[in-house]
Amino acid sequence: MKWLLTIGAIMALVVAVAQPNDLFEQGNTAYANEEWATAIEHYEAILDTDYRSASIHFNLANAYYQIGDLGQAILHYERAWQLDPTDEDIIFNKKLANLQIIDKVEPKEPTFIGAWWQSFLLTASTNVWAFTAVLFFFLTLGLGTVFLLVKHPFWRPFSFFGGLSTLVIALLLTFIAHQRYGVTYPGTPEAIIMAPNVYVKSAPKAGSTDLFILHEGLKVTVQEQEGDWLRIGVENDKQGWVKAADLAII
């Protein structure tokens, strides 16, 4: 009975403390004092709630990097990058961490147009694009209303062509918002290898042939699931099966 009370008290304390900002501050303090494990504990406690931010993943990744857990570090850099793909600190640390991994997979070089399009998409977040689209939908509504109700020789054609343009722009912005979302959250999910090394098998069975070996921290695409096994692909078109437990989906 006594221990129940104790647990209750601790729980109450945790709930009281579990405000994300407090945990964030405590994690930052621990990090500043180079108490990496404590910092990780605090940051992970935030992630147990549904609060998310680029900073929290970035700080957690830094802490994991400091203790040498490359897999977790890269996983959280990737998650931080998803939330804020233009932040230079995130890009820098993510690149630095990726230099530590053993497997060197040459990323596919994007075309000039592709690179330009991607940087254009990244000029704003998905929500900014989406809300701009919403704004244009309302503009369409406004101009459309003018068109329907005002029978003025200037306002009628103005509102007609204006409304049509805003509608096209709104639809285009919706498309852009979806494209922008696809940059950070690709259609095929991606995962990071968490085990120090994994043997990639030719079939989802323990006894099947080893095709090749991958090491901690490498980003792979997840194409299929079969029981405990995931079919993964590496950037240079190699494919194979690994145990789901050895990966973490970004």
Interface residue list for another protein (CB under 8 A): 20-21, 24, 28, 31, 50-56, 58-59, 62-63, 65, 68, 83, 89, 92-93, 95-97, 99-100, 102-104, 106, 126-127, 130-131, 133-134, 137-138, 140-141, 144-145, 148-149, 167, 170, 174, 177-178, 181, 195-197, 199, 210, 213, 215-216
Listing DSSP states for 67-93 in one string gives: TT-HHHHHHHHHHHHHH-TT-HHHHHH
CB of 8 to another protein, least distance (A): 27
CB of 5 to another protein, least distance (A): 32
Q: Which is nearer to another protein, 2 or 109 (CB)?
A: 109
End-to-end CA distance of the chain: 42
Contact 94, 213 (CB under 8 A): no
CB of 136 to another protein, least distance (A): 9
CB of 224 to another protein, least distance (A): 24
Q: Any residues with CB less than 8 A from the CB of 83 and at least 6 apart, and which?
A: 52, 53, 54, 57, 184
Unique residue bearing structure tokens 């609060």? 51
Q: Which is nearer to another protein, 176 or 232 (CB)?
A: 176
CB of 170 to another protein, least distance (A): 7
Angle between helix axes 126-149 and 155-184 (nearest 10 degrees) is 160
Q: Nearest Cα to 180, choosing from 109, 240, 131, 146?
A: 131
Q: Which is nearer to another protein, 141 or 248 (CB)?
A: 141
CB of 102 to another protein, least distance (A): 5
Q: Which is nearer to another protein, 78 or 216 (CB)?
A: 216
Q: Which is nearer to another protein, 6 or 33 (CB)?
A: 33
- Strand, coil or helix: 172: helix
Q: Which is nearer to another protein, 185 or 224 (CB)?
A: 185
The Cα–Cα gap between 133 and 168 comes to 10
Q: Which is nearer to another protein, 20 or 233 (CB)?
A: 20
Listing DSSP states for 76-137 in one string gives: HHHHHHHH-TT-HHHHHHHHHHHHTSS---PPPPPPHHHHHHHHHHTTS-HHHHHHHHHHHH
Bridge partners (DSSP) of residue 215 are 197
CB of 86 to another protein, least distance (A): 14
